[in-house]
Amino acid sequence: MRLSRIQLTDFRSYSDLRIDLPPGMTTLLGANGAGKTNIVEAIRYLGTLSSHRVSTDASLVRAGESRGSVMGIVEKAGRSLAIEITIVIGGSNSARLNRAPVRPREIAGILRTVVFSPEDIDLVKGEPGGRRRFLDDLCVTLSPVLAGDLADYERVVRQRGALLKALRGKGSETSALEIWDEKLATLGARILRARIEAIRALVPYVSAAYADIDHTGTACSLRYGSSVEVEAAFDSGQARGIEEALLEALAREGPRERERGVCLVGPHRDDVVLSIGDLPARGYASHGESWSAALALRLGTYSLLTATGGPDSGKDGEPVLILDDVFAELDGHRRAALAERASTAQQVVVTAAVKADVPAALGGSVFMVDGGKVTIDG
């Protein structure tokens, strides 16, 4: 897969911008605040129809305008697909595929991207919620049906939480709590099964990516940190094993949950545990190690998705790899290692503030981003 053109109209800081991207490596150079990340965000938005920076579309439209759009040309399996999404403030967004109007959902996923950005350090240093989101995104990519289960599960947790709050301090009255326990266990078990499968598939790729990037020889590993012991049930292969483990935990924690009025059992309390050497990465890893681990998670995901049998396997499924402002954070060795891994990808877009930060070995075309304009360098 290759993105050969990206065109922004009244998107973020750009009134009208068109970049024709050559094959292979593209570097966008510009000072902080020049608008490099806005271009990356546009590419990402075109693929997923959501932004990693904001939750509402309105802020993506250039100040003072009522609509903005992003258009891209994707070369895929010998075909050229022009996809366009128009964001309308206070209205519904519209999309076009090769100039014909389609529902926005139908263009989502045509362009696939894997983005690594400075915020990804939170995957290692941040709260468990960020890691759960990372894992759930991967699970949904591997099995799109899970998106519905995740949304339903969240609703069940909120309903059950509301009921627990209402029951707080009210003796043994149960008022249909069991039906929510049952829903939580059924949906929770599906989510747990998908998460454990995804983690186990991901482990070898992350370990390999970490070994490539970090030269110290320490190993990086990850496992699913469940609040309820379910991996034994998962391994036993029993259809209802995980569900029963969750129901048991709910029965055990019941009095404490009712005392506090909070839902204490289930995949919404879990975490992904990253370790470097023998120590957990969170709280123990050095700055460099944390960066290596975060990079390894993203690059490992990329490798998993493009591996044989993965959803993006085959040369034309390979997502566009985007490295947004990350080289500045890494030391010389890590930079070179990342450059080497990136050079095997079909298409890579790199942004940087300083040219010297980007390893010369990457090569490719360089664009200068300045004051809402993008010009090719040399």
Q: Which residues bind another protein (CB under 8 A)?
A: 105, 144-145, 147-148, 152, 155-156, 158-160, 162-163, 166, 175-176, 178-180, 182-183
Cβ–Cβ < 8 Å for 153, 202: no
- The smaller minimum CB distance to another protein, of residues 128 and 311, is found at 311
Q: How far apart are CA 204 and CA 174, in angstroms?
A: 45
Tokens describing residue 143: 């099995």
Cα-based torsion angle of the residue sequence 188, 190, 195, 200 in order, rounded to the nearest 10 degrees: 130
- The smaller minimum CB distance to another protein, of residues 181 and 289, is found at 181
What is the smallest separation between the CB atom of 234 and another protein, expressed in angstroms?
20
* DSSP SS3 for 202: helix
What is the smallest separation between the CB atom of 119 and another protein, expressed in angstroms?
28
- The smaller minimum CB distance to another protein, of residues 175 and 313, is found at 175
What is the smallest separation between the CB atom of 253 and another protein, expressed in angstroms?
18
- The smaller minimum CB distance to another protein, of residues 109 and 204, is found at 109
What is the smallest separation between the CB atom of 164 and another protein, expressed in angstroms?
8
- The smaller minimum CB distance to another protein, of residues 20 and 178, is found at 178
- What angle do helix axes 128-142 and 287-306 make, rounded to 10 degrees? 10
- Which residue's structure tokens are 């699913």? 224
Q: Tell me how long the chain is.
A: 378
What is the smallest separation between the CB atom of 161 and another protein, expressed in angstroms?
8
What is the smallest separation between the CB atom of 102 and another protein, expressed in angstroms?
10
Tokens describing residue 256: 């404490």
- The smaller minimum CB distance to another protein, of residues 219 and 251, is found at 251
Tokens describing residue 144: 């799109």
- Which residue's structure tokens are 């940190």? 225
Cβ–Cβ < 8 Å for 40, 367: no
